[in-house]
Amino acid sequence: MNIFNQLGMDAGKAICYSGFREGQHPGGAYPGYEEVKEDMLLLQGHWKYLRLYDCDPHAEQVLEVITTEKLDFQVMLGAFIEAEMNNFNCPWGGGVYSEEQLENNCIANRKKIDRLIDWGNRFSNIVFSLSVGNEACVEWTDHYVAESRVLEYVKLVKAKAVQPVTFCENYVPWLYKLEKLADALDFISIHTYPVWEYKHIDESLDYSKENYYAVANKYPDKAVVITEAGWATNSNGRGINAENVNEEYQKIYYEKLMEWVEKENILAFFFEAFDESWKGSPDPLEPEKHWGLFKIDRTPKKAVQHLTSIFNL
């Protein structure tokens, strides 16, 4: 099923956006209005759809900039729900919390869901869909939330917001669980990362196709969106072989992916717009810091260097 037809949207390129720069991070210093405006002007005209991850001050700033500056974007707005259960399978040991923390997270998550509804209604002219979470049901997550609880959040949002509702998750859980959740959603959102699964660049597109069609064939009556697909440009070897990542490989994957999704009319959000130094470990080669099509100083990597003259960088 074609998401563009289902939602009455025009086909267009999509990208994940989080604009934290050096010295900025969630819960600390946030990008200011002019910084967000600069980012939006870099992206405008080249990407139509943006994905925002949380109902935090950064997302609100982005929505206000798009509205005030009358920019041509449509936004998937998310609520990043935190752990409501312990996950002892998290490989980096981050999935275990005190009972008090889990209780506090439940309260905070409900407030986020209420904010998601409120902002969806407040910015209904630019927010085209709402996501009730991100990678909260996959086995390795450090913020595990039970499917039944995510389903409750979906029902809350669908009852009070006008936008279609989804949940963003790695492709794997959609294949053997999450059937009840999938049935309740307006469309399914999947993530595909061949390089995290030790695939070489020569295998990359075929593997992402396999991931996508496995889910799409399981749920033939649901539109399936790719809400994350990307290729890192640096790695310290933690989870990603260093020889498998560089700017040239990112360019190859980006171009092949875009050619495929445009041909098949699949909405696919490339991960991500800009490098973010706050992510992952302190190691400067931590792969989490290096997924952007642009470096943290906003200079383009090879995949988008052909746009340099347009960006006037």
Q: What was the pLDDT predicted at 313?
A: 46
The Cα 19–Cα 287 span in angstroms is: 17
Has residue 222 been placed in a domain? Answer: yes
Cβ(164)–Cβ(187) below 8 Å: yes
3 belongs to a structural domain = no
User: What does the pLDDT look like over 260-285, one tens digit per residue?
Assistant: 999 999 999 999 999 999 999 999 99
- Count how many domains the chain has: 1
Range of the domain at 184: 15-311
| 182 part of a folded domain | yes
- Would you state the structure tokens that stand for residue 282, as one six-digit string? 């302190």
d(CA 126, CA 59): 13
Domain assignment present for 42: yes
pLDDT for position 310: 53
Give the CATH number for residue 143.
3.20.20.80
Q: Which residues of the chain have a pLDDT value below 70? A: 308-313
What is the model's pLDDT at position 309?
55
Assigned domain for 133 exists: yes
Per-residue pLDDT, 6: 86
The residues near 102 (Cβ < 8 Å, ≥ 6 apart) are 83, 84, 85, 86
Instruction: Assess if residue 169 is contained within a domain.
Output: yes
In a domain, 1, yes or no: no
- For residue 117, tell me if it sits in a domain: yes
Q: pLDDT value at position 2? A: 80
